[in-house]
Amino acid sequence: MVISAARAAATLEDARFVRILDAVHRGGTVHVVFEWLPEARPLSEVLATDGPLDPMDAQRMITDAADAMAFAHAAGLSHLRLQPDTVLLTPEGQVKIFGLCVEAALHSTSATDPARADTRALGRVLHAALTAKWPEGEAFGLAAAPYENGAICTPRQVRAGVPDAVDAIVDRLLNAHPRVGTPLRTPAELAAELRQLPRARPAPGPGPAPDATGPMATVNHILAPFPDRDGSWKPSAATRGVQIGVIGLLVLGLVLLSWQIVRAVGSNGDADATPSTGPLQSIRIADLRDFDPHPAATARRTAIRFRSPWTATRTPCGAPTGTPPPPSASSRPGLVWCWTWAGCRPCARSS
């Protein structure tokens, strides 16, 4: 039976299972040769040594395991012995499931509903990964998980920081009457539910591992969605609050931008307006020195139209700077002179 199980498992091509390289019966003993993974560690050893996994790492691990078992069941194969000593983790965080079909054959394990049995086993493994406690009593170097009113306590009741969505999935896997939703009965159903959760970070590659306990990890846990009473998923209250805040900031920014544009357009219109000119005024020049005022006396250029005796008409003028009028200007009636900051010169026009 072990030989048949090993040969059946060897036909499954999936990197998430430890490959079976050979199986022989020699001298009354069955020998099964597995892929050599010297750096992979059983989950039981990781939990006993390092404590429970980060919730995002546990979610990624069980998602890979559920996908792998769904693929195996689609091929007509089952494990029936999924537990912390048959789920291995590589240093890169990849999942390797050991003993597909073979472990059940070695221990003569059977089930009337293999899919349901493997799905519940995945739930126990996920609970252990989150709490470092085994739901079926003390085993694998782990303490027994607590129960309340005949039902196993969910990971969130045992350990803080577990997202509501992941906690609800464990409840649906292990309890016959979960608080939310209906029980999950196949690895495919579990994989579909896990795909609705926020995507867990990928397995770390070469180089330093990212911080799994920093502020962003806490934010990810808080913003995780949680299930509604009908089993559907909706954003958490924190997520909705963040969304409303972002929308409010965007609206405020648009209002301020519109106000700045309107203000800028109004300022340009005022600057482009042509200044109005006052009426012509006649002034009397009693002395030639009155014709050379101090530069700060006025900020407007003025044209002086000389008329004998020393009667002038002042009007705005843009003539360039020149020299002051000669003393004999009174003998040259009809000649137009302009003064600016630096003095006067004859204009190009004359009456």
Ordered by where they begin, the domains of the chain are 2-205+218-235 (1.10.510.10), 281-350 (no CATH)
What is the spatial distance between Cα 72 and Cα 96, in angstroms, rounded to a whole number?
Answer: 13
* Long-range own/partner contacts, residues 314-321 (CB < 8 A, 24 or more apart): 314/280, 314/281, 314/282, 314/283, 315/277, 315/280, 316/277, 317/347, 319/345, 319/347, 319/348, 320/345, 321/345
| pLDDT tens column, 77-128 | 999 999 999 999 999 989 999 999 999 999 999 999 999 999 999 999 999 9
pTM for the predicted model, two decimal places? 0.59
| pLDDT tens column, 133-175 | 999 999 999 999 999 888 889 999 999 899 999 999 999 999 9
What is the spatial distance between Cα 62 and Cα 128, in angstroms, rounded to a whole number?
Answer: 11
| pLDDT tens column, 63-83 | 999 999 999 999 999 999 999
pLDDT tops 50 at residue 344: no
Residue with tokens 């303490």: 143
